[in-house]
Amino acid sequence: MEEQTAQDSTPIFQQIKNYLVGGIASGRWKEGDLVPSEQALVRHFGVSRMTVNRAVRELTAEQVLVRRQGSGTYVAPQKYQATLVEIRNIADEIRARGKLHRSDPRLLRQELADQALATEFGLEPGAQLFHSLIVHFENEVPIQLEDRWVNPACAPAYLEQDFSSITPNEHLMAVAPLQGATYAIEAQLAPASVAELLAIPPGSCCLVLHRRTTSAGRAASVVTMWHPGHLARFTGSV
């Protein structure tokens, strides 16, 4: 179990991440500045080196910090928008093609994180998460099933949104500005529950995008997006 203080139920590794991200946001440490060493953080928080190492390692993976062998850990260059695969709002993409977008929210509620989700969010199993399931249509043809989990700490009003008029992407970009993202794209056969919502035969091939986004040094959203294989294509450039 993660170390915690008696006054704060937030895992210590997340408190350390928040401390470092907060210092960067306030200007205490600017781009290229050396941040406190792991030894200094161990002394400051009174925790194990392993806990501090996890916090620094995750911030490095999220491109908030950069480690330089034999030198230390520094505030990373702010290159997120240039180095990430572009995250676009599906409604804007459809409208740009001259087509009509419509979304159909099928689920919007609070649920408990299982072990896999807790790991992705850096939370304890059983933590509260927001869960939405939305079908996106292009000219009344279903082209995407968006299965999204959201950290309430990043978007506390998520469940209050009307996702038939705005998309989760629009809301999250406004309240939890994108800091970083990781992706996985693969072909999968649609299970019956997915096939029904996408109006395709069960077992049809789909392109599936799994994406985890971060904001302010913590996981904000984990989403799996199912696309009928005969309608989908992912493109990009570097």
Largest CA distance in the chain: 59
- Whether residue 219 is contained in a domain is answered as yes
User: pLDDT tens-digit profile of 90-100?
Assistant: 888 888 878 89
Q: Look at residue 236 in the predicted model and tell me its pLDDT.
A: 55
Residue ranges in the chain whose pLDDT is less than 70: 1-9, 78-87, 233-238
Q: Using alpha carbons only, what angle is made at residue 224 by residues 222 and 230, rounded to the nearest 5 degrees?
A: 160
Give the side-chain half-sphere CA count within 13 A for 233: 4
| Residue 64 shares a structural domain with residue 176 | no
Q: Look at residue 183 in the predicted model and tell me its pLDDT.
A: 85
Query: Last residue of some domain: 41, 61, 78?
Result: 78
Q: Look at residue 86 in the predicted model and tell me its pLDDT.
A: 56
Query: CA-CA distance, 144 to 94, in Å (whole number)?
Result: 11
| Residue 222 shares a structural domain with residue 107 | yes
Query: CA-CA distance, 212 to 236, in Å (whole number)?
Result: 18
Beta bridge partners of 189: 205
User: pLDDT tens-digit profile of 189-208?
Assistant: 999 999 999 999 999 999 99
- Whether residue 117 is contained in a domain is answered as yes
| Residue 116 shares a structural domain with residue 44 | no
CATH number for the domain spanning 190: value is: 3.40.1410.10
pTM of structure: 0.65
Q: Which backbone phi and psi does 141 adopt, to 5 degrees? A: -105, 125
- By three-state DSSP, how is residue 199 classified? coil
- Whether residue 233 is contained in a domain is answered as no
Percentage helix, strand, coil for the chain under 3-state DSSP, each rounded to 5: 30, 30, 40
Query: CA-CA distance, 61 to 36, in Å (whole number)?
Result: 18
Domain of residue 121 covers 82-228
Query: CA-CA distance, 218 to 21, in Å (whole number)?
Result: 9
